[in-house]
């Protein structure tokens, strides 16, 4: 008899964004004349930049020529891309990261979900609340939690993010081995300072813990004082793995390219306390389970780092930041308390009612989709997240509809 992994039975029936999508589709079917404006899932809407498109075409052309065709590439990514990433994203900011510490992949969602395979089944895991659901669900699937009781899994150490702490949780009150952090934060849009991040790095060093730092939204940071990478903090090379993505940085949600940085100094321990290189372990996993991102996509990604590509990517992100500023301003003017929307594409709004009630009201009365904060954890109850990923015209129209519904 084929048996299931019963840990799956502990999960909520569907993934948050699949659930939302189902509700939106039902609404659209019942109201075919209504134009739904989607400010829910953080999915980009603007086309790829010119620099990216021409490199992408060139990559396809090369695949069409007998002399330039390529089969399997290196699983970790082509050197031309890894070298650019190391130089432009890290070394240029004083972060000591080399090309062979970069693992190119097809998504930060997959990487943040897969990385937990490297760790023991009984480690203690600190999870911020609210949080990107992938970090929790993948550990549930792997059997590292008990059942869900009142919205929280037994066995996880939850780190509350609240208005009072600015959605930067305090250090855990009990020992933990693995810590998930995401800044600029999804879902709250909060950002972390170097001094605040240093406390986490120091904690990890003192406790032989590891930080999984999700920096998928670093391109939205415009404040020069804020860190874009955890490796800007002294000592982080030994205790942190960082996840990056071109999804939001350069409009790659449909094109797929991300990367994970695993420094060679990053160690974890076996039951006897012997050190093991996480770089070697991730390399082993990556080469066993992944066959690399396609050559044209890596060519396209490399173009993001060219002078024109950089300017065009900045312009794309600027559009979304402008939308975020509009959303924040409008919602504040309507009397709502907002976090984020500055150095971040997400605005986190105290809806002053149940999250799903607010979601249903916006959908039914304004045909605007947001994300209910409760979907990100118990501390998200009462909040909604509005994403800036849409055209300026749609954001303006959505805000006009919200004004008439919420006034």
CB of 20 to ligand MLT, least distance (A): 9
Query: What's 285-352 look like in SS3?
Result: HHHHHCCCCCHHHHHHHHHCCCHHHHHHHHHHHHHHHHHHHHHHHHHHHCCCCEEECCCCCEEEEECC
DSSP state of 95: -
Candidates 40-48, 158-166, 192-200, 286-294: pick the segment binding ligand MLT (CB under 6 A): 40-48
**CA-CA distance, 330 to 396, in Å (whole number)?**
10
State which residue, 42 or 189, has the beta carbon closest to ligand MLT.
Answer: 42
251 lies in the binding site for ligand MLT (CB under 6 A): no
Q: Which two tokens stand for residue 220?
A: 């939205």
Nearest to 212 by CA among 141, 307, 116: 116
**CA-CA distance, 315 to 49, in Å (whole number)?**
9
State which residue, 59 or 133, has the beta carbon closest to ligand MLT.
Answer: 133
Candidates 2-10, 41-49, 63-71, 191-199: pick the segment binding ligand MLT (CB under 6 A): 41-49
Is residue 240 within 8 Å of 201, Cβ to Cβ? Answer: yes
**CA-CA distance, 69 to 296, in Å (whole number)?**
11
Find the residue with minimal CB distance to ligand MLT.
42
State which residue, 41 or 60, has the beta carbon closest to ligand MLT.
Answer: 41
**Which of 20, 38, 42, 114 touches ligand MLT by CB under 6 A?**
42
SS3 91: helix
State which residue, 43 or 46, has the beta carbon closest to ligand MLT.
Answer: 43
**Binding residues among 64-123 for ligand MLT as defined by CB under 6 A:** 109
Size of the site for ligand MLT (CB under 6 A): 5
State which residue, 42 or 251, has the beta carbon closest to ligand MLT.
Answer: 42
CB of 109 to ligand MLT, least distance (A): 4
Query: What's 182-201 look like in SS3?
Result: ECCCCCCCCCCCHHHHHHHH
CB of 385 to ligand MLT, least distance (A): 8
CB of 348 to ligand MLT, least distance (A): 12
**Which of 11, 41, 334, 392 touches ligand MLT by CB under 6 A?**
41
State which residue, 144 or 385, has the beta carbon closest to ligand MLT.
Answer: 385
CB of 134 to ligand MLT, least distance (A): 7
CB neighbours of 357 closer than 8 A, spacing ≥ 6?
A: none
Is residue 344 within 8 Å of 184, Cβ to Cβ? Answer: yes
Burial class (CB in 10 A: 0-12, 13-18, 19+), 9: exposed
186 lies in the binding site for ligand MLT (CB under 6 A): yes
State which residue, 11 or 60, has the beta carbon closest to ligand MLT.
Answer: 11
Give the interface with ligand MLT as residue ranges (CB under 6 A): 41-43, 109, 186
């Amino acid at each position: 008899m084929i048996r299931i992994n019963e840990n799956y039975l502990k999960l909520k029936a569907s993934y948050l964004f699949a659930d939302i999508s189902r509700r939106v589709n039902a609404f659209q079917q019942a109201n075919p004349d209504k134009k739904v404006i989607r400010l829910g899932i953080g999915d980009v809407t603007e086309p790829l930049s010119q620099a990216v498109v021409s490199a992408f075409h060139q990559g396809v052309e090369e695949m069409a020529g007998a002399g330039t065709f390529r089969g399997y590439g290196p699983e970790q990514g082509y050197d031309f891309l890894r070298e650019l990433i190391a130089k432009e994203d890290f070394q240029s900011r004083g972060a000591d990261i080399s090309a062979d510490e970069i693992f190119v992949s097809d998504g930060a969602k997959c990487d943040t979900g897969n990385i937990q395979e490297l760790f023991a089944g009984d480690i203690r895991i600190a999870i911020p609340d609210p949080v990107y659901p992938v970090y929790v669900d993948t550990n549930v699937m792997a059997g590292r939690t008990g059942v869900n009781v009142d919205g929280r899994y037994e066995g996880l150490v939850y780190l509350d993010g609240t208005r009072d702490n600015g959605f930067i949780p305090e250090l855990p009150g009990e020992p933990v081995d693995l810590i998930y952090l995401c800044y600029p934060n999804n879902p709250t849009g909060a950002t972390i300072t170097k001094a605040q991040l240093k406390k986490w790095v120091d904690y990890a060093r003192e406790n032989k813990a590891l930080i999984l730092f999700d920096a998928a939204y670093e391109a939205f940071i415009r404040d020069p004082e804020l860190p874009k990478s955890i490796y800007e903090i002294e000592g982080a090379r030994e205790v942190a793995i960082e996840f990056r993505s071109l999804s939001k940085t350069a409009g790659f949600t449909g094109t797929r390219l991300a990367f994970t940085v695993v420094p060679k100094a990053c160690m974890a321990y076996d039951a006897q306390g012997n050190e093991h290189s996480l770089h070697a372990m991730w390399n082993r996993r990556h080469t066993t389970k992944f066959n690399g991102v396609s050559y044209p996509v890596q060519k396209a990604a490399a173009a993001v780092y060219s002078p024109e590509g950089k300017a065009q990517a900045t312009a794309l992100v600027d559009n979304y930041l402008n939308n975020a500023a509009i959303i924040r301003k409008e919602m504040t003017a309507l009397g709502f308390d907002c976090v984020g929307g500055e150095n971040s594409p997400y605005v986190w709004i105290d809806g002053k009612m149940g999250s799903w009630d607010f979601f249903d009201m916006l959908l039914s009365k304004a045909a605007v989709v947001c994300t209910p904060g409760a979907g990100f954890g118990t501390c998200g109850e009462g909040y909604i997240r509005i994403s800036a990923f849409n055209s300026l015209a749609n954001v303006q129209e959505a805000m006009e509809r919200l004004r008439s519904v919420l006034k």
